[in-house]
Every structure is written in C-alpha cells, then in structure tokens.
Chain A
Amino acid sequence: MKIGIDVGGTNTDAVLIDGTEVLAGVKSPTMSDVALGITESLRRLQSAFPFDPTQIDAVMIGTTHFINALVEAERLAPTAAIRLGLPATSGLPPFVGWPTRITDAVKALPYMCHGGHEFDGREISPIDREEVRRAVRDAVARGARSFAISSVFSPVNPEFEQMAAEIIGIEFPELPVSLSNEIGRVGLLERENATIINAALRDLSAEVCSSLDQSLMALDINAPLFLSQNDGTLMDVDFARKYPVATFASGPTNSMRGAAYLSGIKDCIVVDVGGTTTDVGVLQSGFPREAATEIEVAGIRTNFRMPDVLSVGVGGGSRIRFDDGVTVGPDSVGYRVTEEALVFGGQTLTATDIMVAAGDTVIGDPERVKHLDRSLVYAARDEIHRRITETVDRMRTSSDLVPVIAVGGGAFLVPEQMACASEVTRPAYSGVANAIGAAIAQVGGEVDRIFAIPAGKREEVLDQAREEAIGKAIAAGAKASTVQIVEIDELPLAYLPGNASRVRIKAVGDLPTSK
C-alpha cells in the first residue's frame, strides 16, 4: 500500500492506495508547521480506513510550500550568487531583471569571477581560487548564508563549479552550496536564476525536511519517504533538502497525473478547480505537456520544466457580482469559503453558492440559497461555465474533441458537457487528485547535456546517453526491470562544428513494492 500526500496552501490531502485501488482519501487544513499538518492528515486517513503501518511500502509527498515561499518572498535565506565566466558575461550580472521585492528578501549578493567553459569544453579562463575565496569571504562578511554557483557551460563541464564548492566547503563547511549544473540546463541566466532560488530556499528546506520523518513516526510508519519532483517523478528527502526547487511544479503535475490515474485516460485535458483559480493542463501519454517557452516564477526567468497550465480566476470561493451583467471573481474568499459562503452561514455570494442553488451539487445548507433569484443564478452559472469552457478550448491542440477530466475541490463548477469535449468526467476521489498523483509517482533519471557526435556515431552516442539515464533512474531507487525511456529530445546546435547536439533523455521506473 502507498500513501500519497499533497500539502497545498489551504489543505493537506492524503490518500491510501493499494495497487490500483484507492482505499481512502481525506482532507485536513495545512498548518504553518508542515509536518504537524501531515501527521493530522495521516491520523484522519487512519480513521477513514484503519491500516497496518507495517504494510505501507512508501509515503509520497507533493507540496507547493517552497514555491509559495518564493512567491511570497518569505523565509528566504540571504544568498550570494557567484558566477564563473569572466571576462565573458559581465554585461549581465547575477540577479539582473529580478523584482526588487525578492532581491531585498534575499539580500542579493552578486559576484563574477574568472572561469567558465566554451561549448566544446575548452576553458574561457582558468579558475582563480584566490579570487573565489575573496568573493566567498566578502559574501559571508555581508551576511550570506547560502551560495549559488554558476559557471558558463557547466552542463558541458561542471569542474569549476565543483572546485568553487570545495573552496566554500573548506572556508565555511556549514553553509549550503547549490551548483547550477545539478539544477538547470543550458541557458545561463535562467539556470543561474533557478540556482539562486534554490540556494535561497536551503534554510527552509533543511527545516521542513528534517521534520518530515517525524511526521511519519507519530503513526509508527517506517516506510521510505519521497517528495514529488517537477516532472512527476520522485526524489528522496535528502535530494529534496538539497534541491527544493525541484518541487516547484509538483502541484499541477500531480493533479494531472492523478486525473489520468482516476479516469484511466492518458490523453485528455485536465481541469483542476480550486478555491480561487482553475488550472487547465494537457495530458499526453499520461504525462503533462510541458510549457514550450521559458517560465517565469515570481517574476524571475527560469528554465524549470513546468507543465503547460493555463489559469483562470474562477474557483469555488470566487465572488459573484451582478452590478454590470454578471461577474465571477477574480477575487475569492479562498480557503475561508467554509465560513464566508452563504451555504455555510456566511455573508458572501460565491460560486459555490450559485452551484448549490442551481442544484449541481449539495454542499453546506442548500436552504440558505433557496431565496436567490433563479434567473440570476442561471446567468452566473452560465458565466462560470463559459469561462471554464473558453479556457479549455484554448488548450486544445487540434479540432478533435478530447475527453475532459474535472478534479479538485471545486470540480462541480465544470459543466457536464462542453462543445469541445468528447466527454466530461468527474471521477471519484477527484477532490484529492493531487495526493493520488503523488502516490502513483515513479522514480526517474535524466541526462541533459551537449554531446559532440562524430560522423556515423549517432546511435552509439544515444545508446550511451540512454544507459546513463537508466543508471540514474536505478540509482534514484527504481526497480531495474521496470525502467523505460520515456523521452528523447535531440537538438542539433547550429553554427557549431563537430556535429554538436543537445540531448535530453528521461528514464522512469517503479519503486519496488513488498509484494
């Protein structure tokens, strides 16, 4: 049996899965002490379906805790960014383009030193250890508590980043160091930004990750603990402690993978309705379609691999107004819907109230919305449906009708029929699809770098890269016999000799189970 947990901004959802069967799913409020919230949700799960803790094979957690910390610019460590690449790159120092709200929060400390490599592995300059040492000491003197190291073309040759890490390890062994070649791909500014963000979250991740093990112990669960990564695969707690940015996209990724699992449909559009927004994504072969262009997180350009999700400001708690025709949101009572909505005895007319009044769902006390004018109720319902349908339509990739899966706590907002949908499904347990996505996650390994491909050797080079990806998946914990290559992406590099290509290969496999 496996337990999947999703720690969202509002709720912590937990599910118990046995093979292909969902045994139970519960919701409880997220607490500021993340681990306490997890323990509480595990207790509720036990009540819903008493399970033997020794029969749990693994616990998987997906969380938006870290991306929220960044977006809210809270609990971020003072961070120094050291870039190795002089005399190149000096036109655009680290932190260029960052919103001041966040550079203030991380007390941004940029440094540029010699180093870096060319696309073919030659050095741009030799690394100057004394220069790096001076930068490191200066940063700490100015209050830095975490380091981000980025070297030009480190995805091709990471040695200078590793040397810088060694220097810091000698001078200040207690301070966390994040290396760009371990975090991002080709594209200096985006990779450096992702690395700085990671560094800024290291204090928080140390705190959260150390408490996670305890959250399981409270219920005598001794199973291995994993966290969901951006691509829907798992990482162990140690990895998460070092790479908190790897959790950034896990929320929408898990809800989409959970939708695929619950519906049994691998190619579809997923509509995840929350309290404030509805997120629409596309599933292709069971995995979320990735956004094609660079991603901005909290106003910072990065190259995280994130699902292509279109958000619209319509959710269960959206305020409904009739001043000028009918408007839905974008403001919402959010998690306070259980106090503020009319059906819960509150004073605010919300989307939930409209759908209860229309008879689409039963939540709270339907008597409390019986008085609403019928024509206004249907006008509001139509507008909610229209906004959602329009968003779904924008995500379609062809004129073909596709299945639509509605998940999330507000899934009742989704119309039962849509012109662009072949069918609209709202599977059982759709309210906890996120947690299910976490529970069914696999373990993966990935290779992403530039290979020089000598004439006639393309297959040989790809085989080597494939083997490497498979090896990484197994090292991450996958059962060797289940590992498969799920993605191969080859990008020949223009204008460069030696037939250089950037090759990206992902392999995933299942976690071993006791049965």
Chain B
Amino acid sequence: MSFYLSLDDVPDLARGAAILGTGGGGDPLIGRLLVEECLKNGKKIEILDPTELDDDDFVISTAMMGAPTVVVEKVPAGTEAVRSLRALENHLGKTADATIPMECGGLNSMIPLVVAAEAGIPVVDGDGMGRAFPELQMETFGVYGVSGSPLAVSDENGHTCIVDTGHDNQRMETFARAVAIKMGGAAYIAEYPMSGADVKRTAIRNTVTLALNIGRTLRRAKDKHLDPLAELSAFLKDTIYGHGTVLMRGKIVDVERFVRDGFTHGSAVVESFDGIDEMRIQFRNENVIAHKNGAVVAIVPDLITIVDVDLGTPITSEALRFGQRVAVYGISTPAIMRTPEALQVFGPQAFGLHEPWVALEELSAAR
C-alpha cells in the first residue's frame, strides 16, 4: 500500500530505523529533523509500494556515506543528495521516477525522504540492506546482480564526483569512501541506478513501513505500560523477518572500542542481573555476533540490537557505557538476505568472523 508520510509518523520511523540500525547507521535525529522541516514547509513525501512500480521505471538509490560523528556536527544542507541524484541523471541521460533507501537502519532511512521531498518523486518502500551495514557493496541489489556504478558523490558545495567501476561494487565502495573522506568525512551519494523490475527482484520489501511499525509498536507499548520487547516480538511474527527475541537482559560491565581501517571495532559485555550469565557482543560499527556464556546465540546478517531494558530505546555502539541497564535483542533476517550469494557479501566472513552463519531462530530453539 502506498501512502503519504505525515509529520506524526516521523518520530516512529526514526525510532524503528534506530532499532534496525543494530548499533550503527548513525543517529536518525538529524535526518528526522530534516524530514520534519520538509513536511512543515508543505512538501509531500510519497512512500510507494514496490508492486506499484512499472518494470521499466527508473529508480536511483540515495544515501549519506561517511562518519556519523561528522554528520552530527556538519549537519546537512539538505540539498546534497539531490545534487548527486541530478548529477547521476545527467551522466546517464535519464530522470529517476523514484528513489529508494540503500539502508533502512539509522540515518539513511531519512535521507531518501528528503530527496523525495526536494525532487518531487516518491520513495520506494524497501531497501537493499534490511538493517544497517558499513559498506556500499553490502546490498541485496548488488547481491542479485545490479551494479552500484555509476555512482555520484557530492558535498555541500555542489562538487560532485562520478565513480564508475563497472560490476565491481567492492571497488566502488573503496573509491567512493576515499572521496567522502576528502569531502570532510561525510558525503551524499546516488547509486545503484536500476529498473523497476530490478527493484522488485532484488529489494527487501516494505522496510520503510517496517521501521515505521516497529517505532509505533514500541511507543504504544510504552504508553500502555506493556513490555516493549514482548510487543515487538509479537509484531515481528507477521513480517518477513518473522522472529525477534530477547537474548539477554543485564548491565553492561565492559565496553572496548578502537578504530581500525576506518571503522569502529569493539565489544561490549553484558552481565545478567542475577550475575549468572554473561553475553559478549562484538561490533564493527554495527553489532555482528553475540556469545552467551561462550556459545554463539546470534550472528550477522541476523540483527543484534542493544536497547534500554525499560524503555526499549536503541543504543548505538558509540553510546554504550559501563553501567547501562540493557536488553540485547535479536531479529531474524528475511529469506532474501540468507541465500548463499547474500551470505557471500554480508555474512560472517565478510566481517572477519570464523564462525559460520546459523539462523537466529535455530540458535534460539537450541537454547
């Protein structure tokens, strides 16, 4: 079902996107404020159901790439991503009928909405990550054969670079990231130019609506004094994700962070309130694996999110602190993210992990 986004929807969308951000993805607040400004200025944002795309529609994905810690300081002008869109359209000689998020977790849930508002085109309800991931080639679009190139990357001055690496999406990520760093650590991109048919074939469907509903579920649970995570699990059962579960409740007793290769690596240790169990979560911006008492209980691409134990509000990897009372929550990925081709691109070994992927719901059943 297509619909127009209302001002009241935006906080719910931001909240749900933060859950799907799995510790990374950046703070959606900046994006949320931008979207709210667009709506307050009378602009319209249409969320288009993928089934309503024609096969020969032309769709371009838009996003921010770079350090979230830069974006909270050098907030967007709001025009950068549209510039990239226009630059890519010029380069290819055709105009986009719609845009689509490349990442529904975190800040990038919002950037395409701003593009939609400014460019007057709809946003397809779906994305290419189903969560947040750190690198541009980690897209279901790419997994199933769509080239990310050509890609346009712009800064606030209107300076634009076109990156074209043919079918090599990994190299596209490397070059685009180098440019983004020179542009100040954060830049705005238009990429994965594709047909409506490609979108329908390769996108994870209805993830904008999913994020909206996750946020709504948590808010309503809080208003009614229900357990937000129980409500979330009940909600997820009827979605393509299917399974959400609390992996642990406890207090953070250790956090370690270091930067390597331009990403924030680290781990957090959660001790259960009764002091008996211990969970270790490793992250590479986003959370990638959780061990409980030494045994794997969740592993990428399945989602691992750390939230406030009482309110269910998500906590990013950067905000983790000793003493926080948290719940560690796991969400199973949809089938499209679990094929051998998909696991090749964003499974455990793409994150340097030796453990093999085992589905979250299987690991949960085994416990």
Q: Measuring CB to CB, which residues of chain A are less than 8 angstroms from any residue of chain B?
A: 85, 87-92, 96-97, 116, 118-120, 122, 124, 152-153, 186-189, 282, 284, 289, 292-293, 301, 394, 396-400, 491-497, 499-502
Contacts and interface: CB of A to CB of B under 8 A. Distances in A.
B228 to A, nearest CB: 14
Contact of A118 (B72, B76, B184): B184
Contact of A124 (B30, B74, B114, B325): B74
Given A124-B184, A494-B285, A87 B156 contact: yes
A152 B74 contact: yes
B118 to A, nearest CB: 10
B204 interface: no
A264 B281 CA distance: 37
B67 interface: yes
A90 B75 CA distance: 8
A293 B264 CA distance: 19
B264 to A, nearest CB: 4
30 contacts: A87-B156, A88-B76, A88-B156, A89-B156, A90-B79, A91-B34, A91-B75, A91-B77, A92-B75, A118-B185, A119-B69, A119-B73, A120-B185, A124-B74, A124-B156, A186-B73, A282-B323, A292-B315, A293-B313, A293-B319, A397-B323, A399-B273, A400-B275, A492-B257, A494-B263, A495-B69, A495-B262, A496-B67, A497-B181, A497-B262
A91 B37 contact: yes
A92 B37 contact: yes
Contacts of A116: 74
B73 to A, nearest CB: 5
A292 B33 contact: no
Interface string B50-88: 000000000000000011111011111111000000000
Contact of B259 (A122, A398, A492): A492
A292 B308 CA distance: 11
B318 interface: yes
A56 to B, nearest CB: 38
B37 A119 contact: no
Nearest to B319: A292
Given A87-B157, A292-B321, A399-B275, A496 B74 contact: no
B251 interface: yes
The 6 closest A-B pairs by CB, nearest first: A91-B78, A495-B67, A492-B259, A494-B264, A88-B156, A118-B184
Contacts of A118: 70, 74, 184-185
B262 A89 contact: no
Contact of B275 (A87, A91, A398, A492): A398
B364 interface: no
Contacts of A496: 67, 69-70, 181, 185, 259, 262
Contacts of A501: 259
Contacts of B275: 398-400
B323 A89 contact: no
Interface of A is mostly: loop
Most buried by B among A96, A124, A492: A492
B238 interface: no
B67 A493 contact: yes
B223 interface: no
Contact of A186 (B72, B313, B319): B72
B68 A397 contact: no
Contacts of B158: 87
Given A494-B264, A495-B263, A96 B37 contact: yes
B310 interface: yes
Interface in B23-43: 29-30, 33-34, 37
B76 to A, nearest CB: 5
B319 A494 contact: no
Nearest to A116: B74
A322 to B, nearest CB: 23
Contacts of A301: 29
B181 A89 contact: no
B74 A89 contact: yes
Contacts of A399: 273-275
Contacts of A91: 34, 37, 75-79, 114
Given A87-B77, A91-B76, A187-B73, A394 B67 contact: no
Contacts of B165: none
B324 interface: yes
Contacts of B79: 90-91
Contacts of B67: 119, 493-496
Contacts of B319: 292-293
Contacts of B181: 495-497
Nearest to A122: B184
Contact of A92 (B30, B259, B274, B315): B30
Contacts of A85: 74
Contacts of A97: 33
A500 B354 CA distance: 29
A90 B180 CA distance: 19
A33 B353 CA distance: 65
B225 to A, nearest CB: 12
B262 A189 contact: no
A398 B184 contact: no
Nearest to B257: A492
Contacts of A292: 315, 319, 321, 324
A402 B77 CA distance: 49
Nearest to A495: B67
A186 B318 CA distance: 13
Contact of A89 (B75, B177, B185): B75
Contacts of B74: 85, 88-89, 116, 118-119, 124, 152-153, 188
Contacts of B184: 88, 118-119, 122, 124
B273 A494 contact: no
A189 B75 contact: yes
Given A124-B74, A189-B33, A397-B323, 11 more contacts: A87-B156, A91-B76, A91-B78, A92-B75, A119-B69, A119-B74, A153-B73, A282-B323, A494-B264, A495-B66, A496-B259
A396 B275 CA distance: 14
A374 B313 CA distance: 43
A34 to B, nearest CB: 36
Contacts of B185: 118-120, 495-496
Counting chain A CB atoms within 10 Å of each CB, the highest count among B185, B263, B274, B310 belongs to: B185
A189 B321 CA distance: 23
A89 B76 contact: yes
A491 B257 contact: yes
Contacts of A289: 323
Nearest to A400: B275
Interface in B290-335: 310, 313, 315, 318-319, 321, 323-325
A54 B318 CA distance: 51
B263 A96 contact: no
Interface string B216-260: 000000000000000000000000000000000001000001110
B21 to A, nearest CB: 13
A398 B273 contact: yes
A188 B263 contact: no
Contacts of A153: 73-74
Nearest to B266: A492
B77 A88 contact: yes
Contacts of A187: 72-73
A292 B324 CA distance: 8
A501 B184 CA distance: 16
A187 B313 CA distance: 20
Given A397-B251, A496-B185, A90 B77 contact: yes
Count chain B CB atoms within 10 A of each CB in A122, A188, A301, A496 and give the residue with the most: A496
A97 B156 CA distance: 22
Contacts of B323: 282, 284, 289, 397
A103 B228 CA distance: 35
